[in-house]
Amino acid sequence: MKHKETAGHLAAVFTVIIWGTTFISTKILLEDFKPLEILIFRFIMGFLALAAVNPRRLKNTTFRQEAVFMAAGLCGICLYYLLENIALTYTMASNVGVIISVAPFFTAISAHLWMKTEEKLQIRFFLGFAVAMAGIFLISFNGAKLSLNPAGDLLALLAAFVWSCYSILTKKIGSFGYPVILTTRRTFFYGILFMLPALFFMDFKPDLSRFANLSYLFHIFYLGLGASALCFVTWNFAVKVLGAVKTSVYIYMVPVITVVTSFLILKEKITPLSGTGTLLTLAGLFISEYKGREKEESGGKSK
């Protein structure tokens, strides 16, 4: 059991490392692609990759299970990314970065209300959340003025809430006992299905000739195979093993990975503010996770 939990933590860390670097690929692709086009291409590629890895069909599901898959696809694949991208057109990226990082808080509250078996909320979680958010705030608004835009900020807040719903649904899907690759592929299918109506409103161009540019081809493969196919499998595995709340706190690491990646790849400087923010964010993650370990130890002694 201990080895499985370790694998769950490693899977969560691996996932956020990849997700924290996707901004580079997305930024490059946005030079010639619209946000919706990037989403459609990457998730179709992710779906096909998962089908190639495990071509078996997911059989004998009940109507209720299919409803959960549909809800997960709607929340985690369709709504979350669309809301986040639309929010970016109204407000600053730094605002969206901070607000999206509230997702673990929403996840904890949702798990407490909807899943009685999920870990109970304790003071350490809220303390870790406060410390991490202070760090993320310093990272995101490093050298920039705080500028509020109600429409964009509310959309980002809604995206964070939608992701928390996806986390709870993923935990529920994990309890079905099906292989993670098959359940992730089914979720992708419904997510893509729900995206299709947006094609008629957001000027989608199915122009594949743009991928003659090898840079675009590499980055869409990185997003489709890495950030989508592989990372959703590893994230869903982590949620299945660790629970929705424990896994969600790793989202705090995404802005940290972005800072480190910017330093290593884009040669951007790490300022005192971003450095302090990075340390605070990691401290918040440690406080939240240490709570979980402490609880397990005390629970183990009582058995």
pLDDT of residue 163: 93
What is d(CA 142, CA 131) in angstroms, rounded to the nearest whole number? 17
How is residue 90 written in tokens?
């109204």
Q: What is the mean pLDDT of residues 245-253?
A: 85
Residue with tokens 């093993």: 241
More confident residue, 95 or 111: 111
User: 93 pLDDT exceeds 70?
Assistant: no
Q: What is the pTM of this model?
A: 0.81
What whole-number percentage of the chain has pLDDT above 90? Answer: 36
Q: Count Cβ neighbours within 10 Å for each residue of 7-21 and write b for 16 or more, e otherwise.
A: ebbebbebbbbbbbb
**What are the tens digits of pLDDT across the range 264-300?**
776 767 778 778 887 888 888 788 766 444 444 444 4
pLDDT of residue 213: 92
pLDDT of residue 226: 94
pLDDT of residue 143: 60
More confident residue, 103 or 50: 50
Q: What are phi and psi of 280, to 5 degrees?
A: -65, -40
Q: Kindly give, in sequence order, each residue whose CB lies less than 8 Å from that of residue 34, ignoring residues fewer than 6 positions away.
A: 202, 203, 204, 205
Residue with tokens 């989608």: 204
pLDDT of residue 37: 87
For the chain, domain boundaries: 2-298
What is d(CA 281, CA 195) in angstroms, rounded to the nearest whole number? 33
Maximal CA-CA distance, the chain: 63
**Residue among 121, 140, 128, 105 nearest 274 (CA):** 140
Q: Using DSSP, state whether 190 is helix, strand or coil.
A: helix
pLDDT of residue 284: 83
pLDDT of residue 295: 46
What is d(CA 250, CA 281) in angstroms, rounded to the nearest whole number? 10
**What are the tens digits of pLDDT across the range 196-238?**
888 887 777 888 889 899 999 999 999 999 999 999 999 999 9
Mean pLDDT, the chain, whole residue set: 83
pLDDT of residue 291: 45
pLDDT of residue 79: 93
pLDDT of residue 266: 67
pLDDT of residue 300: 43
Q: Using DSSP, state whether 148 is helix, strand or coil.
A: coil
pLDDT of residue 110: 80
Residue with tokens 């003071």: 123
User: 73 pLDDT exceeds 70?
Assistant: yes
**What are the tens digits of pLDDT across the range 120-167?**
667 888 888 888 888 878 877 766 655 666 777 888 889 989 999 999
Q: Are 30 and 223 in contact (CB under 8 A)?
A: no
**What are the tens digits of pLDDT across the range 175-184?**
899 999 999 9
Q: Are 109 and 181 in contact (CB under 8 A)?
A: no
What is d(CA 47, CA 24) in angstroms, rounded to the nearest whole number? 22
